[in-house]
Amino acid sequence: MDKQAQDAFDRANVDRITGHRRMRRHRKADWSRRLVRENRLTVDDLIWPIFLVDGTDTSEPVDAMPGVFRLTVDRAAEEARRAANLGIPLIATFPNIAMERRDETGSHILDPDNLVNRATRAIKEAVPEIGVMTDVALDPFTTHGHDGILRDGIIVNDETVAQAAEAAVNQADAGADIIAPSEMMDGRVGAIREALDAAGHQDVAIMAYTTKFASAYYGPYREAIGTGGLLKGDKKSYYVDPANGEECLREAELDVQEGADSLMVKPGLPYLDICWRLKQEFGLPVFAYQVSGEYAMMKAAGANGWIDEEKVMLESLLSFKRAGCDGILTYFAPRVAELLAKGV
């Protein structure tokens, strides 16, 4: 071969080799798929949100969330035991407060013996090794279902923040390990951090609901905590507009400056881009909340035989890991933990 022919031959050869990368080689067998798998869902990724209700020895089903119950405090402690045995690291509690205890300002959130605080004490006493996270939003405690104090048609920011900070100290006194401010008021993370520190709760962490969207996916949750028919108007004046991504970075920056220990994105699947952006930008632990509407959709389609519920559930949770999340709040937590324990 002359020089020219040799060069042409070499070029073609290189093209042939590099042009024939075969992505399927690693996909061909279970052993090689496992070998190159980038993300894994484990029980350590699961945070279990549970609903609470007054009474004893009762679990009330939530209609729009098949398999989910409102638990009395004694039952919550039993379920916490089950969760800890499964290896679930953290439980988050949400109360269905008796109507007669709700008012315009949500003042019952300040009662050290309210349902949330009683549940925390019972769980920590029965199962000291599980983490307990409590929410400081007012919506379960108000007659109007808003997360803040309502005056003349406006959710007043600073007054709500002051009350949230006081409530957070009560919750920490009751034994909460993580406080999760979910009312999206400005300045809440800093105020809660200061109040916790002043009360000697330096070790209590804050998981900021950093980007809580004004979403339509919360419907079943509102049935669960009994605010469904109550809400006047919407929450657009304090939750993030689903159209916005850049704004989430600014919101997160404030939460980080104010002392948030971890950041949460809520809802989950429609907002995977936000999970990724927050993780890349801040490097703090990032959690996604797979909310009630996401759960209900999967349950409904599964019950109809339209999707394989178990597979979709696992795929949805794995997607959060790929999107950079350190963990997921999910109503599926105990079921997933059981499956993972079986090696699924």
Catalytic status, residue 124: no
Query: How many angstroms separate the CA atoms of 9 and 337, rounded?
Result: 57
CB count, 10 Å around CB of 314? Answer: 18
Q: Tokens 């008796």 sit at which residue?
A: 98
Catalytic status, residue 279: no
Catalytic pick among 3, 235, 236, 266? 266
Contacts of 236 (CB under 8 A, 6+ apart): 214
**Both structure tokens of 75:** 């039952």
Q: Is 251 annotated as a binding residue?
A: yes
Q: In this chain, which of 182, 211, 316, 319 binds ligand PBG, going by CB under 6 A?
A: 182
CB count, 10 Å around CB of 145? Answer: 22
222 lies in the binding site for ligand PBG (CB under 6 A): yes
Of 63, 192, 83, 194, nearest to 135 by C-alpha is 192
The stretch near ligand PBG (CB under 6 A) out of 56-64, 66-74, 131-139, 301-309 is: 131-139
144 lies in the binding site for ligand PBG (CB under 6 A): no
Q: Could you give the dihedral angle defined by the CA atoms of residues 295, 296, 302 and 303, in that order, rounded to the nearest 10 degrees?
A: 140
Catalytic pick among 212, 235, 279, 321? 212
* Secondary structure of residue 262 in the 3-state scheme: strand
DSSP string, 38-56: -----GGGEEEEEEEESSS
Q: Judged by CB under 6 A, how many residues of this single chain contact ligand PBG?
A: 11
Closest separation in Å from C-beta 147 to ligand PBG? 5
CB-wise, 197 or 234, nearer to ligand PBG? 234
Query: How many angstroms separate the CA atoms of 12 and 6, rounded?
Result: 10
218 lies in the binding site for ligand PBG (CB under 6 A): yes
Q: In this chain, which of 72, 117, 157, 292 binds ligand PBG, going by CB under 6 A?
A: 292
251 lies in the binding site for ligand PBG (CB under 6 A): no
Closest separation in Å from C-beta 257 to ligand PBG? 23
Q: In this chain, which of 235, 279, 299, 321 binds ligand PBG, going by CB under 6 A?
A: 235
291 lies in the binding site for ligand PBG (CB under 6 A): yes
Q: In this chain, which of 147, 223, 251, 258 binds ligand PBG, going by CB under 6 A?
A: 147
Query: How many angstroms separate the CA atoms of 70 and 64, rounded?
Result: 12
CA distances from 316 to 13, 23, 286 (A): 43, 24, 16
Closest separation in Å from C-beta 295 to ligand PBG? 7
Annotated binding residues: 251
Enumerate binding residues for ligand PBG (CB under 6 A).
135, 137, 139, 147, 182, 218, 221-222, 235, 291-292
Binding residues for Mg(2+): 251
Catalytic residues: 212, 266
